[in-house]
Every structure is written in structure tokens, then in C-alpha cells.
Structure 1
Amino acid sequence: MDAKERFVSLYKQYIKREGSERLLDYLLKSDFFTAPASTRFHGAYAGGLVEHSLNVFDCLSDYLQRERVKEVYQLSCDMETVAIVALLHDVCKIDCYKESMRNQKINGTWQQVPYYEFDDKMPYGHGEKSVYIINGFLRLTREEAFAIRYHMGFSGSEETRNVGAAFEMYPLAFALSTADMEATYFLEGKK
């Protein structure tokens, strides 16, 4: 099963909320399954975005199964919430990357090589843009919206007081941020 098939399978298995079919149709018609996850860091290749989303799903699912998370932090989520926040946290990256060419020195000679440029036609932020897009199709809970909004954690450009407050109020936001960083830095990196 390739990444797109696995994503669609998980999506259909867990996300049943009203509007979920329309959101999946939107994703299937977009470049979500062929887009990179970034221009030069993790997942900077075709299909990197869907692979990253699956990695975050796996990392978040594992995090939530930890004994300490369940018993000490008292954090538990239904699988629909896990799938929504993990699989959809980066829908803000849809239609934001375009392939271009640049010069790069390879073995002493300059050659044209492909790369991705970031070209956001709807500059509405990062996490907040994902929340905005998703809410156009299905209703997020407040916890889901905060988790997606603050999934960049302290590495984003958000006001640090707001990040800390969101993590305190909605532990799922911290969990998603942790899963996102784990996927980004330990599973992906540059290819």
C-alpha cells in the first residue's frame, strides 16, 4: 500500500464527521498527495506532505499509548480526533509549492537542478490556515482546533505565551506538536 492509499484508508476508517467526504474529495483533487512537506528540510520531495502526515499520525498514536501519558497526564483521545489532527494538520501547504530550477555545482560544473519554491496564494499563517480550511468542510472541536493551530509549538512564529497557554489548556496541542517534531527531525529530515 502506498502513502496515498494508506492515508485514504486511515481517513475513511476513522474520520466519519459530517463533511468528511467533501474534505476528502477536496484533498484528492488538490496536490496534497504529490506536494512536498517543505522546500529544503523534511519531506522536500514529491509526496513528502502525505508521508509527513502519516508519520505524524503514527507518532501521535504511539505517544497517546504511553502509560505515563494515559495514567499521569490523563490524556486520551478517540481515534477520529487523532486522525483529524495528525492527518490534516498541514493542509495549509496545499497548492503552496511550485517546481523550479536553480543552478547547483555538481562535481565542479554548474548544472540545472529542480527544487521547490514556496508560493502561498493564501497567506493566512500556518496552523490557523489549516484550521480555516478544515472548518470549511467539517466542524472541529475546540481542542482539535487548538492542537492544529499550535502544532508548530515553540518553533513557530507564534507568541510564546500563547503557545504555552494552549499547551496547558489543551494537552493534545502539546502531543501533536511533539509528534510533529518527532516525525520531522527523527523520521524524515533531508532526503
Structure 2
Amino acid sequence: MDKETRKKLADDFVELLRTTNRDGIEELISYLQEKTDFFDAPASTKYHGAFAGGLLMHSINVCAELNLDPNSKLYPPETLIIVALLHDICKANCYHTEKRNVKENGAWVEKQIYVFEDELPLGHGEKSLYIASKFIKLSDEEAAAIRWHMGAFDCAFQGGDRGLNAAYERYPLAVMLHMADMRATYLIEDRVHVN
């Protein structure tokens, strides 16, 4: 993704957050702009959005997908914006590039690849919830949606935690965000590794 496209997406992202009129939203925006690489980070190391700006693009795609859900009309627009745009803020400042030898067409070549290194390993959904909560107040349902957006991919669920089922039974928004995340990841975004 070129810098001009990233700039446009970043402007759209910030404008969407501002429309929520949440107390603390300007501080959260400043944090993302000045203290993180959120707007330039990839969404993953080698799958969906594995390119500069991939995390930003993914967040906007999740927001669009969430708004397409028939049940989205049950929620205020600011709730949908908050949970969709902030669900993966845990990934900011976690990716860097390294040169590695990779095999292509039977030959080893040196390539730049993304490497994930988390300086604050709180857990995926938990960390996004923790960061967002430093700046803005979230409803219980918004918090549950962000916390459990990974669904069955969440390590706590895989370890036998029953919180996912309880959250999904109690909070439809949590299910909706998970499904929007899956649609954006697997149906919308280019899964080709781009460097």
C-alpha cells in the first residue's frame, strides 16, 4: 500500500473515531499517532494485511463489515466504530522487519520479513481492551466484544476458559465483531504476502 493511500485511510480512521465524541478520544488518537506505529504496521507477519498499513486497512474493513451486519442497527454508530477500529490496537509497536533467507522456487534468497515481538504480553483481546480503557470509557458489551473478538482462536478459549461462551451468550456485539473480523480477514483482504 502506498503512502498516499495509507494517509487517506489514516485520515478516515481518525475522522471515524472523532465522530464517536467519546471523552478521551482525542488523547487516544494522539497516542496512536505519536507513540505507536499503528498507521504503518502490518496486520500479521505473513497472512492478511502483511504489509505497511495492513493493520489500518484491516481495522477499517472490520468496521465496514460490522456495519453490514443486520443486527448493527441495534447499536449506536459510535459503539460499532469503537469496537471495530480498536479491536486490534494491541498489534501496534509489535512488528519489525528482519532479513531472512527464504526458499523461493527451489533457491534460497534473502528477503525482508515481518517479525512479531510483543513488549507487553497481556493476551490479544485483553491488551486491546487495556490500551483502549486507558483513554476512553467502554460499556460492558463493548469491552466484551473487544476482549473476545478472536473467538475460538483465543488462547484462553483453547485452554478451556468458558468466558467466550458466556460473553457470546450475553453480548451479541461480541459475536458480531468476531464475525466481522473473520469476514474481513478471510473474505475481503488480500492474503498474499507483500513486502
Calculate the TM-score normalised by the size of structure 1: 0.90
- Between the aligned partners of 1:105 and 1:147, the Cα distance in structure 2 is 40
Superimposed CA distance per residue, residues 44-71 of structure 1 (whole angstroms, 9 cap, x where no aligned partner): 11100000000000000011xx2xx37x
1:178 to 2:179 alignment: yes
Pairing 1:18-57 to 2, within 5 Å after superposition: 18-29=23-34, 30-57=36-63
Alignment-derived partner of residue 111 in structure 2? 113
Amino acid at match of 1:135: S
Using the TM superposition, give the Cα deviation of residue 109 of structure 1 relative to its aligned residue in structure 2, in angstroms. Answer: 3.2
Alpha-carbon distance in 1 for matches of 2:57, 2:162: 31
- For the aligned residue pairs, the C-alpha RMSD in angstroms reads 1.5
Partner residue, 1:7: 13
State percent identity of aligned pairs: 48
Q: Give the corresponding residue for 2:163.
A: 162
Q: Post-superposition shift, 1:126? A: 0.5
Letter in 2 for 1:5: D
Deviation of residue 189 (structure 1)? 4.5
Match of 2:100 in 1: 102
Correspondences of 1:119-138 after superposition (within 5 Å): 119-138=117-136
1:103-142 Cα deviation digits (max 9, x unpaired): 1233443221111111000000000111100111111111
- The aligned amino acid for 1:24 is I
Three-state SS of the structure 2 residue aligned to 1:18 is coil
Distance 1:178 1:122 in 2: 26
**Any runs of at least 4 consecutive aligned residues in structure 1 with deviations exceeding 4 A, and if so which?**
none
Matched to 1:164, the amino acid is N
Unaligned runs of 5+ in 2: none
Counterpart CA distance in 2 for 1:56 and 1:171 is 16
Structure 1: distance between partners of 2:167 and 2:128 = 17
Post-superposition offset of 1:154: 1.3
**1:24, CA displacement in angstroms?**
0.4
> What amino acid does structure 1 have at the position aligned with 2:31?
Y
User: How many equivalent pairs are there?
Assistant: 182
Q: Secondary structure at the match of 1:110?
A: strand
Aligned counterparts of 1:55 and 1:15: Cα–Cα separation in 2: 18
Deviations 1:167-188 (A, max 9, x none): 0111100000000001011011
